[in-house]
Amino acid sequence: MNNPTPIRIKTIAEFHQFRGLPKPQHPLISVINYADIKQHSGKEKMSWLMDYYSVSIKRTTNINLKYGQQSYDFDEGIMFFMAPGQILTVTTDTSIEPKHTGWMLLFHPDFLWNTSLAKAIKKYEFFDYTVNEALFLSEKEELIIGNIIKNIELEYQANIDNFSQNIIISLIESLLNYSERFYNRQFITRKITNHKILDKLEELLDNYFRNDELLKSGLPNVQYFADQLNVSVKYLSNILKMLTGQSTQHHIHDKLIEKAKEKLSTTDLSVSEIAYTLGFEHSQSFSKLFKIKTNFTPLEFRQSFN
């Protein structure tokens, strides 16, 4: 199946109509039970680009979800987050008897207008992880999140008054704050996976330097390695900070300086030649970075071996 052209869904009402659901009770926010979503016959692969926020968790037997380059099934409860403008690709095999549980919270950016959350929502980095990293919840964590969702649903289904929006916004903030806590827990509990990512990064760095990729592509950047590892830049940075205390950029620079020290101490190449082989366009930039990292100029470091 080729990747389909993304279907843009601008409003929550459009999503309800698209999925055979009744009209939403509120135009800017909705909680949807996955069991109520209309399923189509045959195999289905769709990509959506939505103009609203989505937070959801589900268990089902016939759906595969693709975040960027990674795929996840839903045999376990997976929580994931989408911000407006992101693309989600879902493959459904309706030849398998579906068993759906879970929910989806949708809220439009207009619902946040003139509230503190309108700006604060950008601090929740897991909205950037939606193309790379799902959140796996324990039963206790899922219960906490589920109770917040029930309260959101009860609030917007009640008679709307002057307090409704503030109460719902407060509940959404609680939902996001708990999710942030659980993501942090996941970083800690998935140490084995995270160490594998670090090991793979080390391998990629070694290959980059060993295969003269520097001469072809120049200095390595964080985005390159994040793409190679199929994770977001922020996720990779968070892993490295947790495991090494350094950012990805610092880690790359350390590897660069390690190679520079090797060339300065074992070859007769000039500083300019070493700078060039390491991907620097200007030797001054190389010397400046080397000085910052080692407190020596490249020549001073070389002379220390004589």
Mind listing the pLDDT tens digit of every residue in the chain (306 residues)? 556 678 889 999 999 998 889 999 999 999 999 888 776 555 567 778 889 999 988 766 555 555 444 454 444 457 888 889 887 777 766 665 556 678 999 999 999 998 999 989 988 878 875 445 678 788 888 899 999 999 999 999 887 788 889 999 999 999 999 998 988 787 666 665 666 778 888 888 888 877 666 667 777 788 888 888 877 787 788 878 877 778 888 888 888 888 888 888 888 889 998 888 888 888 898 899 999 988 889 998 888 766
Residue-level pLDDT at 87: 75
Nearest to 208 by CA among 281, 275, 279, 290: 279
pLDDT of residue 21: 92
Contact predicate 32/104, CB 8 Å: yes
pTM: 0.64
The whole-angstrom separation of Cα 6 and Cα 240 is 33
CATH topology of domain 7-136: Jelly Rolls (2.60.120)
The DSSP code for 138 is P
- Please state which architecture CATH assigns to domain 192-303: Orthogonal Bundle (1.10)
Helices (H), 48-138: 117-120
CA-atom Rg of the chain in angstroms: 25
Closest residue by Cα to residue 277 from 264, 265, 296: 264
Neighbours of 23 (CB within 10 A): 10
Which sequence spans correspond to the domains of the chain?
7-136, 192-303
Can you give the pLDDT at residue 2? Answer: 59
Residues in the chain: 306
In the numeric block, which tokens belong to residue 300? 């001073």
CA distance 14 to 47: 15
Strand order in the sheet with 7-9: 7-9, 43-50, 87-93, 63-67, 70-73
Query: 35-48 in b/e burial notation, b at 16+ Cβ within 10 A?
Result: eebeeeeeebeeeb
- Other CB atoms closer than 10 Å to residue 60's CB: what's the count? 21
The DSSP letter of residue 306 is -
Q: CA-to-CA distance for 132 and 86, rounded, in angstroms?
A: 12
User: Residue with structure tokens 């037997």?
Assistant: 61
User: Are 247 and 233 within 8 A, CB to CB?
Assistant: no
The one-letter amino acid code at 281 reads: E
Distance in angstroms (rounded) separating the CA atoms of residues 178 and 165? 20
Residue 160 tokens read as: 């709307």
* Torsion over CA: 240, 200, 129, 184 (sign): negative
- 158: helix, strand or coil: coil
Rounded to whole angstroms, the Cα distance separating 234 from 225 reads 12
- One-letter amino acid of 23: K
pLDDT at 11: 95
